[in-house]
Chain A
């Protein structure tokens, strides 16, 4: 049942790496979205 021939730590480290990549990646997306929203407001403000 278990893949005991493979070091379990490969899976543990892989799982934590995936978690941090997801969290950091999504945080970057949120940073971009917030910047884009502010710029959008600034552009529209310049139009009127």
Chain B
């Protein structure tokens, strides 16, 4: 079958390969920039440098879940397969970045607070967000029927993404050990540029990994659809 053969031989787009290479170099370069330009903070000493990976990882997770929210709504509205695949891809990428955020926060917390974990509102709400999206991915893997899987996971995806503003605002709404959101208003000026540079580098990484995850999901789904088409048309199928 020509379409399946062409699909299996499809080469990754050059822009995606290029973006991935640039993203890796940008992340490495941004981290070097952060190390070179940031003096030790008065209170937090050099542990402040953990912020350059922890905060961009959290931003990436939030952005990925906003993509899940938007793609899930589009799926429920238009029943678009592409939107479902994008939601699935963004949910996985978002879960990875949330997990990374929690790990990095835990490392910093051990140094600054003396504990790996505490039931602080920001930490707890982030953990809940992580668990919801791990559940989302589990739900997808357990549901065979593509339409039912897409509809159910769109519901969970929208519900999960609604937690993003709660996590973001948790440091203002409740008494918390965690610092308020990092912004030029809440940070010393000498750290703002390095955080921005690292944030942009991580954003490139987010687009690259999302692109690769979406590509794998699209090829898999297209192959399944073409195979099913061949069976329905009564062509010979060896299973």
> Which residues of A line the B interface, CB within 8 A?
1-3, 6, 8-9, 11-12, 14-16, 18-19, 22-23, 26-27, 30-31, 33-34, 36-42, 44-48
Contact = CB atoms under 8 A, between A and B. Distances in A.
Interface of B: 1, 4-5, 7-10, 12, 20, 27, 31, 45-47, 49-50, 53-54, 57, 96, 99-100, 103-104, 107-108, 110-114, 205, 209, 212-213, 215-217, 219-220, 222-224, 226-227, 230, 235-239
Among B53, B57, B235, B238: residue with most chain A CB under 10 A:
B53
Nearest to A26: B96
A17 to B, nearest CB: 10
Contacts of B212: 27, 30-31, 33-34
B47 to A, nearest CB: 5
A11 B216 CA distance: 35
Nearest to A14: B107
A12 B1 contact: no
16 contacts: A1-B114, A3-B114, A11-B108, A12-B46, A16-B53, A19-B104, A22-B96, A26-B209, A33-B212, A37-B219, A37-B223, A38-B8, A41-B8, A41-B226, A44-B227, A45-B223
A34 to B, nearest CB: 5
Nearest to B50: A15
Given A36-B220, A45-B223, A48-B227, 19 more contacts: A1-B113, A1-B114, A2-B112, A3-B114, A8-B45, A12-B46, A12-B49, A22-B99, A33-B213, A33-B216, A34-B12, A34-B216, A37-B215, A40-B219, A41-B223, A42-B9, A44-B1, A44-B227, A48-B230
A29 B20 CA distance: 14
Contact of B8 (A2, A3, A45): A45
Main secondary structure of the interface of B (DSSP, over half): helix
A8 B1 CA distance: 60
Contact of A48 (B4, B12, B20, B111): B4
Contacts of B227: 44, 47-48
A3 B111 CA distance: 5
Contact of A18 (B46, B104, B223): B104
Contact of B100 (A11, A22, A36, A40): A22
Contacts of B230: 48
A36 to B, nearest CB: 7
Contacts of B223: 37, 40-41, 44-45
A11 B110 contact: yes
B231 to A, nearest CB: 8
